Chain A
Amino acid sequence: MTRWRVRGARVLDPASGLDEVVDIDVEDGRIAGMGTDLPGIPEQVLEATGLWVVPGFVDIHTHLREPGQEYKEDIASGARSAAAGGFTTICCMANTDPVNDSPAVTEFIQRRARDTACVNVRVIAAATQGLRGEIMSEMAGLAGAGAVAFSDDGYTIMDSSVMRRVLEYAKGVDRPVIAHCEDLALKGATAVHEGAHATCCGLPGSPAEAETILVARDLELARLTGAHLHVAHVSAARSVELIRDAKDAGVRVTAEVTPHHLALTDAVIRGYDTNTKMAPPLRTARDREALRDGLADGTIDCVATDHAPHAAYEKDVEYTSAPFGVVGLETALPVVLDLVHEKRLSALDAIRRMTCAPASLLRLRAGSLEIGAPADLALVDPEAIWKLDGPELQSRSRNSAFLGREFRGRVLRTWVAGRAVHGSDETLP
């Protein structure tokens, strides 16, 4: 294979703290060198002055829908969507059909990913059989087959006793449990956050406490069991406080926030656009501020997209009947970069929250730039202004909460193991 070089870019590697303008060489799909006076003459050079080279992003919360709902997304299209957003490793949730609660399904997904996906796909398996929150899944077998974490995401394990056993057992197989925290009784049949906007729209809403009650419970169970609890898609200010206090007290807890919760508030529900409907719901400006603060101070460890594709016709119904969820892989970077532009987060920390931070909490070998490691990279123009129209999305579904929105910052090219999987014009690497 060939040797090629990206020259003159600002290279950000949060894992090592590197943030400098250096050249980076790739040979045989691996990072062969980083520095200013690299030896050898590359066969190709990509001039990248003014651009950033970063480790490919890592998403620990993706719904790929295969097997079973390929009309929404499949592993190949979800991977293309990831590549377009600069992600080189994604972890898919278990709510497929059949549910990924058996080694056979885990192996099927990994085989399909090897055969069809242009990025690395890792598997998160169900914590309970059938995601029913009753009987725990065969976690040892699943971990052996390759599951990197356990989660009933999309559903909440309401039975505290079951949740306790899941945490204990997962600890035994050395995997984190990713908790979707929504009190199903308090949430009821609601679609949005309970507040003035829901009241004006006449849409049924649930309070932030629907989340915080379960966050508090799961933190107590994590303390009890000593297991690693990862709180998925934190949406409420009070949840951030609870997690901060638990971390201070030494509980093994990590947390993620989605780009849409960082960017939007419940004000956007006013137009009844069903692409503003997700679980947990968008909350108030105060909640959004707390999420940004929590991400900045590290209470929230990472950004995860909760990429949840749905077919257009499924979303083209009454607000209350529409399915929850939005796609998110292709717009995650500019949303996070907004925090850099607003000086809430350093560039290095922003990239950290999308690379080595999520990778390390699931203990994935990804999200950093090491000599000899596979060249999973993204080339970013932090200043590019662009507008999301919809048809350019690589996902099979276009249910983005950001349609029509203008962004600053864009992924120009993505490489997985040195191979361009997004943005290549074939004449260049």
Chain B
Amino acid sequence: MKHLLGIEPLDRDEIGQILDAADAMLEISQREIKRVPTLRGRTVINLFLEPSTRTRVSFEIAAKRLSADAINVSSSGSSLSKAETLNDMAQNLAAMNADVLVVRDRTAGVPAMLAERVRIPVVNAGDGAHEHPTQALLDAFTVRQSLGSIEGRVVAIVGDIAHSRVARSAIHIFTKLGAEVRIAGPPTMMPVGIEELGVKPCSSIEEALDGAHVICMLRIQRERLEGALFPSVREYSRTYGLDLRLLRLARPEAIVLHPGPINRGVEIGSDVADAEPSRILDQVTNGVAVRMAVLYLLTGEQA
């Protein structure tokens, strides 16, 4: 594994390796001295071309717990292409002598395109509607932690599948690890050809949740999509929001995941967000461990 550009290119063993390493990393975060010397003197650049405090902070903590220096380069708003070409950007980053490049961009493909242009490992921290691999890894880690295994489990992903990188990465990781993956959401948010990824599209949230072990709720971009892809937030939350009544359709041991930040009362009811099955805060803790594992595994000896 030279880069982590998505879950799609990974095989089961590679995913298992990251999750196993993350288990060891999780223990480090529970210590009084939360730091190991493994990446001493190494530099991680967090290139965040789309604002995202949570993911950036998570990567930053992960780098620091491994003793690496984390440098944040962020820019909000306009597209990269207005500023410079990908090659120019790659050469600039290379000149900083970083050891790992973590990239978040509003456009699909930018981490992959930069990976072709730099010599260091690139980690995709979310690119447009493409993938968000560390989110999927922490989701899988959280499921393993809560339910012990993933093979044979029923995972329901609910919300805006079409515009969600979280959904794509989750679909890849859970199907690769042998789960049954169902998706549900407004028909305007179901991407064309999604069934080719081995998921079962459901016509209602009820159908998706029936007997599910894991419920992944996606964040709705209300500002961007209201009116275009669904009529109103009120109708969305009534039709596709998760409340305690719907939760009863799932298995008794079912857990609820959400990539955060949550829209209380929109895709997820406040009662559910704070209920026992919710693993939303575990996901944040596990996110650091998974990102430590990724940074550790990618910084190994390069050919």
Contact = CB atoms under 8 A, between A and B. Distances in A.
Contacts of B129: 202-204
Contacts of A319: 107-109, 113
B193 A196 contact: yes
Interface string B116-151: 000000000001111100000000000000000000
A313 B194 contact: no
A69 interface: no
Given A202-B128, A202-B129, A318 B192 contact: no
Greatest chain B CB density within 10 A among A195, A198, A200, A316 is at A200
Interface stretch (B30-38, B80-88, B215-223): B80-88
Interface string A168-205: 00000000000000000000000000111111111111
Contacts of B128: 202-203, 320
A197 B197 CA distance: 10
B108 A199 contact: no
Contacts of B105: 318
A320 B107 contact: yes
Contact of B107 (A196, A205, A271, A321): A321
B168 A318 contact: no
A317 interface: yes
Contacts of A199: 162, 168, 191-194, 197
A194 B79 CA distance: 23
A158 to B, nearest CB: 20
A400 to B, nearest CB: 17
Nearest to B83: A317
Nearest to B163: A202
Contacts of B194: 196, 199
A272 interface: yes
Contacts of B131: 202
B193 A318 contact: no
A317 B192 contact: no
28 contacts: A196-B194, A197-B193, A198-B191, A198-B193, A200-B8, A200-B197, A201-B109, A202-B129, A202-B130, A202-B131, A202-B168, A203-B109, A203-B130, A207-B192, A272-B108, A272-B109, A272-B113, A313-B85, A317-B85, A318-B79, A318-B105, A318-B107, A318-B109, A318-B110, A319-B107, A319-B113, A320-B128, A321-B80
Interface of B: 8, 79-81, 85-87, 105, 107-110, 112-113, 127-131, 162, 165, 168, 191-194, 196-197
Listed from nearest, the 5 A-B pairs whose CB atoms lie closest are: A196-B193, A202-B130, A317-B81, A272-B109, A202-B108
